[in-house]
Structure 1
Amino acid sequence: MPSQSYTFKAPAPNNVQGAAYIVMCCVLVAMTTLIARALGPQIAGEAALHPVQVSWARFFFAACTILPIAMMRGVTLNDTPWLLHLGRILLGLGGVIGMFAAAGLMVLTDATAISFLSPLFSMIFAIFFLRETIGPWRWLAAGIAFLGAMVLTRPGLDTFQPAALIALSAAAFLGVELIFIKLLSGRERPLKILAINNGVAALIISIAVIFFWKPPTPIQWVMLVALGVIMVSAQSLFLKGIAMAEANVAAPFFYTTLIFASVYGWIVFNEIPGLYSLVGAGLIVCGALLLTWRENLARKKMPGDTPATQ
């Protein structure tokens, strides 16, 4: 029996409200990185928790939040493309673990900026997986962003950041995950995608975390619970935002995450971005915005296109 297809009737565009939802999502996404940094070795020292344990909290408590909502709204598992979901889940797990590991080892601004490379990795991998043709403008965007990554990592210099390689690997995992999200979008309801992603990922990582478990302190427990609830709230706000605002308006607002991460790092950890951080982050954001602009132009030529669900 073929997989059931769903047609999503988008509401009339409300760019102001949609952009507001995206910005609120960015406030929360930056907050999850802040929590991951606070639980990492540079801040917590010997009391630090392993990135796998931090990632466990992100998925476990997110699942505890989203699964009851999905059940109340009658989400079923009929005609579920499990291979697509499983591929997305495994890649997402690798990306989240790497992202939280990097956040624990480098300043928030740098870790957040490198995470913005995931759409560029997605573009490159789409050549092989989706047989997409990449034009010169998108290659230019990739080149600009890659240059920014080189500025942030500074290979060959005494200031080289090994943790940036972890962040780059995480961005690559998340980039391939975007391809699976694209394949799932339009075939599955957004709430079902979120429920399966968080539920199955929580089950998998609950087994893996046994090998890395360290008893958290009471304040760490509070932070771990908050991490999961905040992340699923951010996902919900993102879905509302892209459903309300036009794609060319909504997408650039997601890069405000970098602003909030920088502010959090400055207020909480007294981390002031240096010249390399500002230049590297600026180049990455410029490349990502150029890619967003070109993809929005391409999307306008494809009637009935449905935005991807994060």
Structure 2
Amino acid sequence: MPQALEQRWMGLSGNVRGALWMIASGLIFTVMAIAIRILGHRLDSFQIAFFRCLIGFIAILPLVGAYGIDVLQTRSLKIHALRGLFGLISMFASYYAIARIPLASYTALSFTRPLFATILAVVVLHEIVRWRRWTATLVGFVGVLVMVRPGAETFNSAALFALMDSLSIAFLITLVKRLPPGETALGMMFYFGVFSTIAALPPALFVWQWPTALEWSLLILIGVLGALSQSFWIRAYRAGEASVVAPIDYLRLLFAGIAGYLAFAETVDLWTVAGAAIIVASTIYIARREARVRRAKAAEAATATGGAAAS
């Protein structure tokens, strides 16, 4: 980036930079989803996931070389291995779902991650969740039922894979919270690439077929765009406050709706719109509630520190 442009970029507030990173991440993910939809009817989802892991891993190697080996220092290889496994499950489930349900429906269901994260925060991290957050979580799952409508003639079992993707991502978020503070974003991406690629190879070999020239192009595109989208998403949260940046991610729903209509003539019914609105509203409430709780805890800690210093 030219120095003058970099100075102008850094002159923006952290929240503005975070919002722009998140918008860029959403746009890139939407383009990647179109490529996945096309490729998902030509190759098995396990094979697509393997190449996404491998190509995404190769794409970040130049960055590791530029920043030096120190960015890879870690004391948490087991957690990184678990992240790679759950990341692979997420990729397989998402690629399977994207190829079989409308992009807008998949995107709306992907926003259930905070709902699953609430449950995992209690089960895995032993956090205390108050009744307001539990209520919002239950309302969010009502929105899922409105969208999916199990038992209805329009029910598509691929929607369950979209929920599996969200559950896996919620596990990933929970695991990240257990990483020590010294872990770098580039290091996390590197180890994710290593472990997910190794885990993806056996199932990919089981369903292997040699890609055509078009399929190779799409595989490379998915791998590179996936790494970019992940990198921009991490940069968004590092640049801005989570309470400001997180709601910007919901623009992906608009991007997916437009892309699905233009690329595949997809339309969504009122049930999908209503369910998506319920899910988005509940997850926004949860995000804002968590932000208030974090600010309150930070204020208490500052007060306690100030009191200790005064005494």
Tell me if 1:33 matches 2:33: yes
Check whether the contact 1:153–1:161 (CA below 8 A) recurs between aligned residues. Answer: yes
Instruction: Work out which of the two has the higher radius of gyration on C-alpha atoms and give 1 or 2.
Output: 2
Q: Which one of the candidate residues 275, 279, 286 is aligned to 2:281?
A: 286
Q: Using the alignment, how far apart are the partners of 1:182 and 1:165 within structure 2?
A: 26
Equivalent residues of 1:30, 1:258 under 8 A apart: no
Shift of 1:144: 2.0
Indicate if the aligned counterparts of 2:108 and 2:253 stay in contact, CA closer than 8 A: yes
Alignment check: 8 A CA contact 1:108 1:265 kept: yes
Aligned equivalent of 2:165: 170
Q: Distance in 2 between matches of 1:50 and 1:64?
A: 21
Q: Which moved more, 1:226-235 or 1:161-170?
A: 161-170
Q: Retained in 1: the 8 A contact 2:73–2:187?
A: no
Residues 79-113 of structure 1, C-alpha deviation per residue, up to 9 Å, x if partnerless? 43111111111111111110111111111111111
- Partners of 2:242 and 2:106 lie apart in 1 by 25
Q: Which amino acid aligns with 1:217?
A: T
Q: Could you tell me which residue of structure 1 aligns to residue 263 of structure 2?
A: 268
SS at match of 2:250: helix
Distance 2:30 2:139 in 1: 23
Write out per-residue CA displacement over residues 228-276 of structure 1, whole angstroms, 9 at most, x where no aligned residue.
1001111221222222222211110011111111111011001011112
Q: Give the 5 Å matches for 1:26-175.
A: 26-41=26-41, 48-76=42-70, 77-175=72-170
Report the equivalent of 1:188: 183
Contact kept, 8 Å, 1:119 with 1:178, in 2: the verdict is no
Contact 2:88 2:199 in 1 (8 A): no
Matched, 1:238 2:229: no
The one-character-per-residue Cα deviations of 1:104-133 (angstroms, maximum 9, x if unpaired) are 111111111111111211110111111111
Structure 2 length normalisation: TM-score?
A: 0.88
Gaps of 5+ in 2: 1-10, 302-311
Distance in 1 (alpha carbons) for counterparts of 2:172 and 2:118: 11
Distance across 2 between alignment mates of 1:138 and 1:84 = 27
Residues 89 and 168, structure 2, Cα contact 8 Å, conserved in 1: yes
Q: CA deviation at 1:75?
A: 3.0
Unmatched tracts of structure 1, length 5 or more? 1-10, 42-47, 306-310
Say which structure is richer in helix: 2
Q: CA RMSD in A?
A: 2.1
Match of 2:22 in 1: 22
Structure 2 partner of 1:201: 196
Aligned residues of 1:115 and 1:171 also touching (Cα < 8 A): yes
Question: Does the Cα contact within 8 Å between 1:144 and 1:286 map onto a contact in 2?
Answer: no
Query: For 1:254 and 1:78, how far apart are their aligned partners in 2?
Result: 30
**TM-score normalised by structure 1 residue count:** 0.88
CA distance in 1, matches of 2:208, 2:104: 28
Structure 1 CA distance for aligned equivalents of residues 14 and 199 of structure 2? 38
